[in-house]
């Protein structure tokens, strides 16, 4: 049986745990060669892929540091022999405590944007020259359902993901002539390892999120992976600038 992503070379950021880890494992299971990156080498993710018979390398980078991002992408291209896809998953969320916007100081806004927005932009800037030389590529941004709903008490996070939504659309227009497709996947409230360790988020968001869904169950990281794989595969070759909500039917766009 042919694997849908056979020999695709894909870089996944934030791949140590949660949604990023689930994405890396799924892409490898579909035949992709995966560069799994995180602020520290995601050894467990790489080992799990290799144990299952897949191909993976581990990379360390803080995406808020442009020099580290450039080194990460150069290492990816060298280790995998090229780069076909980028999944921008690295971001700050699970450690956040919901609270009124007037209690969120500008330093925290800057910290969040340095990773969720500027880090994503740095990753795109680093991979696009390689994709242009190769005649095209795919970029998939992990966004969030929150900008579509206007979730309160997480304003800095919602704003950061709203920025990524806009970047996804505009970058798709800019890079279309180079055959580089840019799409987004917007998960709902997902029970990743980090979220499961945040009692405040669980208490405030778990039940209300589940009850708002057409599919009234908890969302887990594996629920997100199919949409990401789709945007990296041949079935989405004429789709760009789109964001697919993966939230169990909580919001219709």
Residues labelled as active-site residues: 157
> What number of other Cβ atoms are within 10 A of residue 50's Cβ?
13
User: Is the Cβ–Cβ distance between 90 and 35 less than 8 Å?
Assistant: no
| Cβ contact 56:35 at 8 Å | yes
Residues, the chain: 253
Q: ∠215-184-119 over CA atoms, to 5°?
A: 125
Residue 90 in tokens: 């690295």
Tokens (6 digits) for 247:
């939230």
CA dist 43 and 36 (Å) reads 9
């Amino acid at each position: 049986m042919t694997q849908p992503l056979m020999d695709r070379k894909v870089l996944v950021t934030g791949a140590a745990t949660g949604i990023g880890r689930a994405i890396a494992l799924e892409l490898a299971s579909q035949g992709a060669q995966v560069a799994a990156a995180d602020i520290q080498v995601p050894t467990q993710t790489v080992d799990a892929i290799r144990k299952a018979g897949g191909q993976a390398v581990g990379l360390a980078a803080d995406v808020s540091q442009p020099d580290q991002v450039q080194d990460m992408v150069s290492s990816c291209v060298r280790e995998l022999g090229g780069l076909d896809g980028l999944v921008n998953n690295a971001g700050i969320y699970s450690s956040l405590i919901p609270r009124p916007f007037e209690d969120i100081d500008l330093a925290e806004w800057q910290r969040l944007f340095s990773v969720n927005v500027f880090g994503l932009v740095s990753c795109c800037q680093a991979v696009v020259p390689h994709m242009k030389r190769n005649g095209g590529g795919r970029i998939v941004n992990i966004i969030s359902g929150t900008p579509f709903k206007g979730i309160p008490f997480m304003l800095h996070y919602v704003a950061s993901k709203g920025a990524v939504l806009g970047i996804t659309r505009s970058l798709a227009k800019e890079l279309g002539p180079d055959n580089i497709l840019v799409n987004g996947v917007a998960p709902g409230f997902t029970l990743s390892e980090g979220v499961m360790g945040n009692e405040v988020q669980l208490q405030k968001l778990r039940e209300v999120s589940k009850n708002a869904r057409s599919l009234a169950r908890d969302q887990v990281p594996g629920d997100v992976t199919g949409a990401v794989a789709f945007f990296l595969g041949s079935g989405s070759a004429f789709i760009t600038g789109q964001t697919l909500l993966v939230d169990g039917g909580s919001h219709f766009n």
